Each structure stands twice: as C-alpha cells, then as structure tokens.
Amino acid sequence: MGFAGKHALVTGAGSGIGAALCRALVEAGADVVCTDIDGDAAERTASPLGERARAARLDVTDAAAVQAAVDDVVDRTGRLDLMFNNAGIVWGGDSELLTLDQWNAIIDVNIRGVVHGVNAAYPRMIRQGGGHIVNTASMAGLTAAGQITSYVMTKHAIVGLSLALRSEAAAHGVGVLAVCPSAIETPLLDKGAIGGFDGRNYFLQGASAKAAYPADRLARDTLKAVERNKALLVRPRSAHAQWLFARLAPGLMQRASIRFIASQRSHQARARTNTV
C-alpha cells in the first residue's frame, strides 16, 4: 500500500506521536485530518503541513463526534483509508491514590476512544472494500508492571481488540495494527503523575541518561508496518527482549516487576526528601 492520495484521520494529533504521524503521512503523500481535544494544538500540527493537512477539534470520548469526523472525511473525499486511534492519557502512581473519576477517565479516552474510532471507521472500510486501522497501544499492552496499572489495563484492552479485530477484518481487506512502543520522547512522559511518580524515570526504567525513542522515527516505522500489514509494532527494537522475556518467563517477569516498583518507590521517596 502506497500512501499517495490516501485519506487519513489521526486522533490525539496535537502533540507527540499523533503529530509525528501527521507529518509522516503528509511526507508519504497522504491527506490527513489532524484532530485533538485541544483544537489549537491540532491546528499547530496541521498548519506547517500545507494543503494536504487540515485540523479539527475532536474529543474521542464523544462517540457521535468521532462518527461525524469520519463521515466528514468520507463526504468530502469519498473514502477513509487510514484511521489512527492514537489519543491517550496516562496516570502514574500507586493505584490506591487513583480516584474513581481517574479510572473512568482513562477507560473513556484509552479504551472507549479507540472503540469509537473503530465503530465509526471499520464498517465504512468494509463497505468501501478496504482500509487500515492503526491503534496506538503500548509495551504496557504486552507486559504488566505496577504504578501505571490503569494504563496497563487499557493498553492490554487495545492489543486484544486489535489482534482479534484483525483476524476478522482480513477477509474484508481491512488491516489492523497495534503500535506498541516503549518510552517515546513526547510530553506524555511528564504527564499524569500522582503522589511523586516520576514518569520520565519510570518509562526510561531508571536510566535517565538513556534517550527515549524519537516520535518521528516511530511514525515512519508505523507507516512501514502498515505497508507490510504487520499485526504488532514493538519499538525500540530493544523492547523485543523484554516482550519475549514476559512471554517465556512470566513468573520471573513478575518478580522483576516487583523489584522495579520497589526501586521506583525508593526513587520517589528520595525525590520527596530532596524537595522538602
């Protein structure tokens, strides 16, 4: 599948991975609607990309609005070739500190937001005889460590949704890809911290000198994975070892996770002491 002349919609495109996906899509010759709950941020992504990008405010928790955004692309262009369900939020910190509102918010954005995108785009793609759905999951959808428990729950749901849908979508010529990155250099690394959680230290696994993977590189990798009709994209490549370890030795992985959370709690306690 080449991207020239294809029509794409990206959610959460005002920042990070979504913005990088918009840049990569336009560079590859696609037309893209850059959407975000933050309409100004969507505009900041779209405006440097020229005529082939347009911006729209879209809250993925609003099913009717997601349907309307998909319908708008189809009404204007006749089809929607690529749907990127990318918008996401994170909460970091011990689970007992999360309010029910926070649990519900992450379910609404990270799970229902993707369901709304699938529900709006997939039947349309079946009717038009093809398309591709790309869901931004995470390595947190393939492995499970605490202090981002609510996030892990949502990303496991997205991996399951993507793989299962893929198996029934193939007969309709619709591809489904779950993108499973480890730490990517975006503002998300510093968001959603509760009770002294240090997202950057957590997601980079304590190695603060280690650089996170660039979002633009992930976006280019994602388009290649779409072209090759891959089921899962794990990046950086070094994360494959962790994924394999989780599958082959789940008991050892659990013990490693318990040690990791203990080291994170010590790091958070030290940081609290230093700020007092």
Ligand X SMILES: NC(=O)c1ccc[n+]([C@@H]2O[C@H](COP(=O)([O-])OP(=O)(O)OC[C@H]3O[C@@H](n4cnc5c(N)ncnc54)[C@H](O)[C@@H]3O)[C@@H](O)[C@H]2O)c1
What residue ranges bind ligand X (CB under 6 A)?
Answer: 11-12, 14-18, 36-38, 41, 58-61, 86-89, 109, 113, 136, 138, 181, 183-184, 186-189, 191, 203
Using the minimum distance from each CB to ligand X, give the nearer residue, 171 or 209: 209
Using the minimum distance from each CB to ligand X, give the nearer residue, 179 or 269: 179
Residues 6+ apart with CB under 8 A from 244: none
Q: How far is the CB of 137 from ligand X (least distance, A)?
A: 7
Q: How far is the CB of 115 from ligand X (least distance, A)?
A: 13
Q: How far is the CB of 268 from ligand X (least distance, A)?
A: 19
249-254-256-260 Cα dihedral, nearest 10 degrees: 150
Using the minimum distance from each CB to ligand X, give the nearer residue, 200 or 270: 200
Using the minimum distance from each CB to ligand X, give the nearer residue, 200 or 224: 200
Using the minimum distance from each CB to ligand X, give the nearer residue, 168 or 190: 190
Q: How far is the CB of 5 from ligand X (least distance, A)?
A: 26
Catalytic residue among 122, 151, 202, 213: 151
Q: Is 151 a known active-site residue?
A: yes
Q: Quick one: tokens of 8?
A: 């794409």
Q: How far is the CB of 261 from ligand X (least distance, A)?
A: 18
d(CA 109, CA 220) in angstroms, rounded, equals 24
Catalytic residues: 151
